[in-house]
């Protein structure tokens, strides 16, 4: 009998998030500690793999959105990488092989979520998951943003495991995915209601 492959997904609960920034800082500290006191000049932001975006919904209500790599099943960055440096791993995560990356930035420009940033020293396109979080999940632990959240607004796990907390949430809560019309099939789910 074949074991179904993992499908690791991120889940962000917009109905619980208080926008405290702990996950944003945790990401920097975990994945790019050398950037703690430095600006990410592309976004003019903290060098984090999570972007904090405020907007207004169709009803005029202010909304908060935390955006990061969506680990799309049909990822434009995977398609556009001329060197095969960006690809899926067996768990469904979009990964970068630094050895193959030439720093051409095609992946940065092709990402419709605009979540990659260029490391000023390494010249590599950075994104979720960074090296620190890959270490974490390799040990079966949640990534830093999940650990950091004081409002229980984040989760991460295997969607193919019906017992996982993310599967249970996806079965019971109303969720949406970002820019789904682009056909990217993102693996970042936003909980928007009960």
Partner 1 sequence: MAEPHASKPLERGVTRRQFLAGTAAVAGGWVLLQGGWSRARQFLGPDGLDTGAARAAGYTVKHTLCFQCGASCGLTALVREGAPPSEENFLLFGNQHPDHPQRGFCGRGATAVYTWNSPLRIRKPLKRVGERGEGRFEEIGWDQALDEIAAKLKALVDVEGARSVAFTAHDLREYPQWLAWPLGAANTVNQPSTCNTSGISARRWMMGAAYQHHAAVDPDYDHARYVVFPGRSLHAPIGALHRLAKARQQGARAVFLNPAMPEAAFADAEWIPILPGTDAAFLLAVCHTLIHEQRYDAEFVARHTNLPFLLKADDKPLTEADREAGGEVGRFFLYDTASGGLAAHTTEGVAPGLTHRGTVRLADGSSAEVTTAFNRLVEHLAEYTPEYAEGITQVPAATLVRVARELHTRQGVVEDTWYNARNGNDTDAVMAIMTVNALLGNFDQPGGLCFRPGARVPATMSRAADGQVSTLLGHSFRMDDTRSVDRMKYPETNGTFDAVLQAILEGEPYPIKALFVLGTTVLQRDPNTRRVEAALRKLDLIVTNEILAQEITDWSDYVLPAEMFLERRRLSGIPWTLTAAVGWQEAVTRPPPGVEARSDVWIMLEILRRAYPERAALVGYNETLSDHDTFKREFLDKLEDLQLEGLAKSWELDADELRQELATQGFKVLQGQRYGQVPYVRPFATPSGRFEVYAFHPVLRGYREHGFATWFPPPAYTLPAQPDEFYLVSGKNPITASGTAGLAYPARFLSDRAVWLHPADAERLGLSEGDPIEVTGLDIDWTARAAVRVTPRVKQGVAFIYSFSGGYRQRRVREDDRFRFLSEGLNPHWFAKAHLEPVTGAAANNASVRIRKVSSAVG
161 binds partner 1 (CB under 8 A): no
Find the part of the chain contacting partner 1 (CB under 8 A) among 4-12, 48-56, 89-97, 179-187.
48-56
80 binds partner 1 (CB under 8 A): no
168 binds partner 1 (CB under 8 A): no
* Phi, psi for 96 (deg, rounded to 5): -115, 130
Q: Considering only residues 2, 3, 60, 121, which one is a binding residue for partner 1 as defined by CB under 8 A?
A: 60
Q: Which residues are 175's β-sheet partners?
A: 191
Nearest distance in Å: CB 181, partner 1: 25
Pairing type for strands 86-88 and 62-67 reads: unpaired
**CA-wise closest residue to 113 among 43, 173, 170, 169:** 43
User: Coil, helix or strand for 49?
Assistant: coil
58 binds partner 1 (CB under 8 A): no
Q: Considering only residues 5, 33, 98, 123, which one is a binding residue for partner 1 as defined by CB under 8 A?
A: 33
**CA-wise closest residue to 129 among 93, 101, 155:** 93
Q: Considering only residues 81, 108, 111, 148, which one is a binding residue for partner 1 as defined by CB under 8 A?
A: 148
């Amino acid at each position: 009998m074949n074991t179904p492959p993992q499908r690791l997904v991120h889940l962000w609960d917009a109905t619980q998030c208080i926008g405290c920034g702990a996950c944003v800082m945790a990401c920097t500290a975990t994945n790019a500690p050398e950037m703690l006191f430095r600006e990410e000049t592309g976004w003019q932001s903290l060098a984090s793999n999570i972007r904090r975006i405020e907007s207004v919904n169709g009803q005029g209500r202010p909304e908060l959105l935390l955006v990061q790599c969506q680990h799309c099943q049909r990822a434009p960055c995977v398609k556009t990488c001329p060197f095969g440096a960006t690809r899926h791993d067996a768990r469904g995560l979009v990964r970068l092989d630094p050895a193959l990356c030439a720093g051409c930035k095609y992946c940065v420009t092709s990402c419709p979520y605009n979540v990659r940033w260029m490391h000023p020293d390494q010249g590599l396109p950075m994104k979720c998951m960074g090296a620190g979080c890959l270490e974490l999940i390799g040990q079966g632990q949640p990534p830093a943003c999940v650990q950091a959240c004081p409002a229980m607004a984040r989760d991460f796990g295997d969607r193919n495991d019906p017992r996982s907390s993310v599967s249970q949430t996806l079965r019971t809560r109303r969720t949406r995915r970002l820019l789904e019309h682009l056909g990217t099939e993102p693996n970042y789910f936003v909980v928007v209601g009960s």
